[in-house]
Amino acid sequence: MTEFNTIDDLDVNGKTVLVRADLNVPMQDGKVSDTTRIDRLAPTLTELAKKGAKVVVLSHFGRPKNGPDAKNSLRNVLDALSAAVGQTVAFGEDCVGDKAKAAIDGVQPGAIVLLENTRFHAEEEKNDPAFAKQIAALGDLYVNDAFSAAHRAHASTEGVAQYLPAAAGRLMQAELEALTKALEKPERPVAAVVGGAKISTKLDLLGNLVKKVDMLALGGGMANTFLYAQGVDVGASLCEKDMADQARAIMETAKAANCELLLPKDFIVAKEFKAGAANRAVPADGIGADEMALDVGPKTVEFLGLKLQGAKTVVWNGPLGAFEIQPFDAGTNAVAGLVAERTSEGGLLSVAGGGDTVSALAHAGVEEKFTYISAAGGAFLEWLEGKDLPGVAALKKK
């Protein structure tokens, strides 16, 4: 990778290295429920520490809107991070200013310090230059290892690279290399499967994605929003109703681009969002006013199975249902199983990505069977669109 500096190009001994990580990991009951992102980040941190750097980890966590709160504190992932790197990680109560500086000053070279959620400051998402400078003031060098957050032009992903010598971390390097190898010239037909809960922030990219793929299968909250836009009553399901116009525009774009849009035929619905909740299968237009579509139903699984049979490449982001709570994992498990089986038989190239998607595929027991699994969700889809990701662009050699 000649376009970027990597850790090999940096002299880190005795330096303070700021590492932008993506510790935005799935949580359940206050505990990290899938450590994939942390495990994949760990080699960068331990390599820098072994080379004699003070390693300062920066990350966002969730989408806090009103400043600091306990739920979105990175303290929640401190133990999992310490376990992954095999040493106790220190914690700084803020990601800039005196508290951050005190935490960094308090450790020796070879130590790792995690700073508090960058999104506790509104300036982070605004990519405020003064805030980026405050972050840069904490270190000598900047390493970005957060490919999965590289689609965000934020102060800690993009801005800070303007003020310090910058390089790609090992995970960033590995993701770009693997995705380029797998998907630079994908064999057609290409099918994209997009589910999950992030609707408004992923709709923009779907408008471009339908121009690149031959089929787009939707599940999760995304499918509910498209069905609502078609006039279907989705009851109490996760749905961003104010996105209906944009969903309709995407349907038009898909039609013009000859991309077949595959919407669920049926759902498993329940009145409560909890494991074991009483549930029933209903046609897509049969959701009761007080019911939530929490998974795609068996007819949808069969339909997607048939459609995906015709694909040579499948790219997947976002689970088809609320897979964390049984039995609403069944649709995701079944479709993941079909994709994994065809991949193992050699008829399909399959690439999936996303914090919860990785967790859902591990839960389905198929993680090893996909061609490649990226830690990135939205960033992976934007990379697939052919977009220059701001976090990656900022690392390019000047």
Ligand X SMILES: Nc1ncnc2c1ncn2[C@@H]1O[C@H](COP(=O)(O)OP(=O)(O)OP(=O)(O)O)[C@@H](O)[C@H]1O
Residues lying near ligand 3PG in the complex (CB under 6 A) are found at 22, 24, 63, 148-149, 152, 198, 201, 355, 377-378
Min CB(359)–ligand 3PG separation in Å: 11
127 contact choice in ligand X, ligand 3PG, none (CB below 5 to 8 Å, kind-dependent): none
**Bridge partners (DSSP) listed for residue 192:** 216, 315
Q: Alpha helices, DSSP H only, in 122-199?
A: 122-125, 129-136, 170-183
Instruction: Mark whether 378 is an active-site residue.
Output: yes
| Residue 149 or 194 having the CB closest to ligand 3PG | 149
**Bridge partners (DSSP) listed for residue 269:** 280, 293
| Residue 28 or 309 having the CB closest to ligand X | 28
Contacts of 181 (CB under 8 A, 6+ apart): none
322 contact choice in ligand X, ligand 3PG, none (CB below 5 to 8 Å, kind-dependent): ligand X
Which candidate in 169, 220, 331, 378 is catalytic? 378
Helix (H/G/I), strand (E/B), else coil: 141: strand
Cis peptide before 43 (omega within 30 of 0): no
Instruction: Mark whether 50 is an active-site residue.
Output: no
170 is in an annotated binding site: no
User: How much of the chain is in helix, strand and coil states, percent to nearest 5?
Assistant: 40, 20, 40
149 contact choice in ligand 3PG, ligand X, none (CB below 5 to 8 Å, kind-dependent): ligand 3PG
**In Å, what is the CA distance from 132 to each residue of 19, 60, 156, 166?**
14, 14, 6, 13
Distance CA 336, CA 370 (A): 9
Per-residue binding letters, 347-386, with ligand X (x by CB under 6 A): -------xxxx-------------------xx--------
Instruction: Mark whether 355 is an active-site residue.
Output: yes
| Residue 7 or 293 having the CB closest to ligand X | 293
Which candidate in 355, 369, 377, 391 is catalytic? 355
22 contact choice in ligand X, ligand 3PG, none (CB below 5 to 8 Å, kind-dependent): ligand 3PG
23 is in an annotated binding site: yes
Give the one residue of 139, 297, 321, 391 binding ligand X; rule: CB under 6 A: 321
Contacts of 306 (CB under 8 A, 6+ apart): none
Q: Quick check: 197 binds ligand X (CB under 6 A)?
A: yes
Strand arrangement, sheet containing 16-20: 90-92, 112-115, 54-58, 16-20, 141-144, 166-168
Distance CA 86, CA 379 (A): 29
| Residue 333 or 357 having the CB closest to ligand 3PG | 357
Contact status, residue 12 vs residue 48, Cβ threshold 8 Å? yes
Min CB(2)–ligand 3PG separation in Å: 27
Pairing of strands 16-20, 31-32: unpaired
Q: Quick check: 198 binds ligand X (CB under 6 A)?
A: yes
75 is in an annotated binding site: no
Instruction: Mark whether 235 is an active-site residue.
Output: no
Q: Taking Cα atoms as reference points, which of 116, 80, 77, 71 lies closest to residue 98?
A: 116
**In Å, what is the CA distance from 369 to each residue of 36, 58, 338, 361?**
16, 32, 11, 10
62 is in an annotated binding site: yes
Any idea which residues carry the catalytic annotation? 37, 198, 355, 378
Q: Which residues fall in the annotated binding site?
A: 22-24, 37, 60-63, 119, 152, 202, 324, 354-357
The residues of the shown chain that bind ligand X, judged by CB under 6 A, are 195-198, 220-221, 238, 293-294, 317-319, 321-324, 354-357, 377-378
